[in-house]
Amino acid sequence: MGYLFVGPMLLGVMIFTLIPMIFSFTLSFTKWSFVTGFDKIKFIGLDNFRALFQDDVFLKSLGNNFIMLLAVPIGMVIALLLAVVISNHVYAPGAFKVIYFMPQISSVVAVAVVWQVLFHPSYGPVNGFLSALGMDNPPKWLADPNFALPSVMLLMIWIDLGVSLIIYNAGLKNIPADLYEAATIDGASKWAQFRSITLPLLTPTTFFLLVTGIIGNFKSFALIKVLTDGGPAHSTSVVVYDMYQTAFVDLQTGYASSMVMILFLCLLAITALQWIGQKFWVNY
C-alpha cells in the first residue's frame, strides 16, 4: 500500500528529473541539435568540455555567477538585522513581513519592468534623484557594463529578502527566552547577547539559507532574461542564460548539455565544501 501511495511521486521524479539528468549527461559528450532527430547524435568525447574552457562568453558567464554569489551573504545579513528589529522593536510585525515578502510572490516580469523604469538612465527616478543631489553624470545602471551586474544583484537581494527574513524570524522565536533573561541578569549588553546567544543559535538557519541561496543564485535565469537579456556586452550573462541561448537559439544541444554538467559540478563542489565547513561553525 505504501508503494501505491508514493508510486505517482516516484514516477514523476523519474520521468521529469532522473531520466532528463541522465540524458543530459550523455548528451554532453555529443554534437547534436534536438531539431535533427536522435539518429543524428554524434559522440565526440570531451571535445565540448575542451571548447567550453576556450569559450570567452561561457567563462564570462561562469565568472558572473561567482560574483553574484556575493548577493547571498549580503542579503542574509540585511534579513537578519531586519528580523531582529521587527521581532523586538516594531508594532504589528506581521504587516512588515508581508511587505518584505511581496517581491517574492510578485511576477518576475512585473518586477523587472518596474526596475527597468527605476534605473532608466535618462528618465528613471533613481538618476533623477541623484541629479537633484548635484551628481552631473549619474550611472547608466543596466545600460552600463560596469553597473549592470551590481544592479541585478541589488534586485536579487530585494526579491529574496522576504524569504530570509521570515525564516530568520522563525529561528529567533525558537531561541529560549531564558537565555536572554540569564544574560541580562549577568549584566550582558544587547550586543553581547546578540553575539553570544543569537548568532550561535541561528547558525543552523544561516547554514540552510546559505545552501539554498547559493543553489538558487546559480539557477537565476528569468530575471536576467527579462531585465537585461544578458547584456550589455555579456556583463550580466550567467551559465543558465548562456545554456538557454546555446540550446534553444543556437540549437547546439550537446554543447549546452556540457554547460549543465559544469554547472552541476560547481554546485556539487560548493555544497560539499559547505557541508564539510558547517562542522566547524554550525551549532545544533
3-state DSSP assignment of residue 116: helix
**Domains along the chain with CATH numbers:** 46-281 (1.10.3720.10)
Largest CA distance in the chain: 77
Q: Which of 93-97, 166-170, 209-213, 264-268 has the lowest mean pLDDT?
A: 93-97
- Distance of CA 231 to CAs 70, 217, 245, Å? 20, 18, 13
pLDDT tens digits for range 110-126: 888 888 888 888 888 98
Average pLDDT over residues 185-196: 90
* pTM greater than 0.75: yes
**213 touches 262 (CB < 8 A):** no
Mean pLDDT over the full length of the chain: 91
Residue 150's pLDDT band, with cuts at 50, 70 and 90, is: very high
Res 9 pLDDT > 80: yes
- β 42-43/30-31 pair status: antiparallel
Least confident of 103-107, 160-164, 205-209: 103-107
The residues, ordered by sequence, that sit 6+ positions from 85 with a Cβ below 8 Å of its Cβ are none
Whether 174 contacts 202, CB under 8 Å: no
Q: What is the mean pLDDT of the segment spanning 151-172?
A: 92
